[in-house]
Amino acid sequence: MSNYSPRPPHYSGLKWLQTPLPTTIEPWLEGKKWSLRQRSSSHKKAQQQLQQQLERYPWRWPTHPIHFITDLHADAEALSASLVASGRVKRLGSRATDIKLKKGVRDDEFLIGGDCFDKGPSNLQLLRTLKKLKSQGARLAILAGNHDIRVLLGMRYATNRENPGHEHLFIRMGTKVIPLLSELERYYLRYPHALRDTPSNRRCRRELFPSPQWFKQFPAYAKATLTTKTIAKELERIEEKMATFEQQLQQADLTLRQVYAAILIWRKLFCSKKGEFHWFYHTMRLAVRRGSMLFLHAGIDDQTALHIKHHGVKALNLQFKQQLYGDNAFEFYYGHIANTIRTKYRPVDKPLSLRGTDTLHQSHIHLLVHGHRNLLHGQRLVLRKGILHLECDTTLDRNSRQKEGLTGVGAAVTTIDPAGTIFGISNDYPRIKLLQPQQLLT
C-alpha cells in the first residue's frame, strides 16, 4: 500500500460539461477548515484527534471502488458532470443523458446518497439519467433521502382521510413539491380533456387539505410519539402551508384540479409495477455497508447503531422497506429508522451518544459517509461523538447553488479505492482532496 501512488481520474467529455473539474491532487489535511472541521479546537488539535481515531480503529477497505454522489436534487446535469468526475463515465453530447460507462469498470459501484427530488430543474430528467447509467450495466445503489421519502408519503397519502397520522402528509410537503407537480402537468396533462374525470376545485381542496377536525384529532393521535412542543410546531407548520399553498400554485399557473390529476399520474409512474420510475423506490435502501464504512443519507442514532450490531445492515434495510410500505407511515416517519434520513444531530433528533458510537466501533464501523448537510468548499471530515463522519453534500443543484452564492452547475464525487485512498472531487474546490489514512500514521 505504501508504494501506491494515486493519480487523478481521467475525465472524458469535458467539452460537453458546463463546469471545469480539478486536475491536481492535494493531501486532505492541507485544506484545513475546508477539509477537516475544527469545531472549537485548532487545526493541529483536530488533526491529532483524527490520527488518534485512525490508530485506535484501523479501517477495513471495500473490495471494489465506490463512487458516492449525493443530494442531486433534481439536477441531471449535476449528475452527469459528477459521473464524468469519477473518471468512469464518458460524456458524449450536450444532453445530460449522453453518457456511457467506460469499459472495464463493471466492478465499480455508484452509490447515490439520497435526495434526488425537489429544488432542481427536472426531477424526471435526473431519474432518466440514473436509469441510463443503470441500463448500461453499472452497479448502482440508491439510498433514501428525506426529500425522496417525503415525496413518496405525501403523494401516496394525498386524498387519504382515514388516519390522522397521514392526512397532513401531502400539504406538509408545501411549496417544495410544486416544481414536480408542474413538471408532471407539463409532460402528461396537456392534451384535450385531460381533466375530464377530475373532481371540482372545491372537492380537490377537501381531498388534499387536512380537515378542520384534523387539528383536534392529530394531537391526541401523536401524543404517544411526539412531545407537546413538537405537536404544536407541527400544527403551526401545517396551518402556514395551507395558507400559502394555493397562492403559490397560482404563481406556478396551476389549479388544484391539475394538482389532483398530477398526483394520480405520479402514482402510475412510481407505484405501478409497469410505471417508468417504479424501479426508483423499489430498489432504494436505507444504508449500505462496505468494509468499515457505513453509507447513509444523514446520520445515525444510538438505537439504529444497536440494531446494526445485533441484526446487521441487511436486516435494517428490510425493516426500512417493511415500515415504508406498511400501514403506519406516521410511526415510520417519526421513528428511529427515518431519523437516519433527516438527522443533523440537533436536540430534536434521535440522540447519538458515545455509547452509540462505541456500539458502531464494536460492529467494526469506523466511518460514516453521508450527505444532507450542504457544504460550499467540497467534502469535509468531522469527528462527531467519537466517530468520523465524511460529509459529502457539496451543494450540487443549480437552485441551491444560486441561493448560496455559487455559480453554474455543481459537480462532485467521493471516490473510495480498495488500495486505501479517498478522493474528494468538487468543482467548488481547486484541487482534488486525497485522504490516505495509512500515510497519516507513518
pLDDT, tens digit (0-9, with 9 covering 90-100), for 230-249: 999 999 999 999 999 999 99
Residue type, 183: E
Q: Judge whether 340 and 360 are in contact, CB under 8 Å.
A: no
At 106, the pLDDT band (50, 70, 90 cuts) reads: confident
Q: Judge whether 419 and 1 are in contact, CB under 8 Å.
A: yes
* Phi, psi of 70, deg, nearest 5: -140, 160
- pTM of the predicted structure, to 2 decimals: 0.95
282-321 confidence digits (pLDDT tens):
999 999 999 999 999 999 999 999 999 999 999 999 999 9
113-123 confidence digits (pLDDT tens):
999 999 989 99
pLDDT of residue 75: 98
Q: What is the mean pLDDT of the chain?
A: 94
Bridge partner residues of 27 (DSSP)? 434
Q: Given a cut of 70, is residue 8 above it in pLDDT?
A: yes
Instruction: Determine how many CB atoms are found less than 10 A away from the CB of residue 356.
Output: 22
Q: What is the mean pLDDT of residues 177-194?
A: 95
At 3, the pLDDT band (50, 70, 90 cuts) reads: low
Nearest alpha carbon to residue 409 among 138, 84, 105: 84
At 402, the pLDDT band (50, 70, 90 cuts) reads: very high
pLDDT of residue 111: 99
Q: Could you give the CA distance from residue 64 to residue 61 in angstroms, rounded to a whole number?
A: 9
Q: Judge whether 116 and 127 are in contact, CB under 8 Å.
A: yes
At 1, the pLDDT band (50, 70, 90 cuts) reads: very low
Domains of the chain, start order = 14-143+284-440 (3.60.21.10), 149-270 (no CATH)
Residue appearing with cell numbers 446535469: 77
Rg, Å, the chain Cα set = 22
Kindly state the DSSP code that residue 254 receives in the 8-state scheme: -
Q: What is the mean pLDDT of residues 326-340?
A: 89
Residue appearing with cell numbers 403506519: 328
Q: What angle (nearest 5°) sits at the alpha carbon of residue 83, between those of residues 78 and 87?
A: 140
From residue 188, how far is each of 191, 193, 203, 305, 436 by CA, in Å? 8, 12, 22, 43, 49
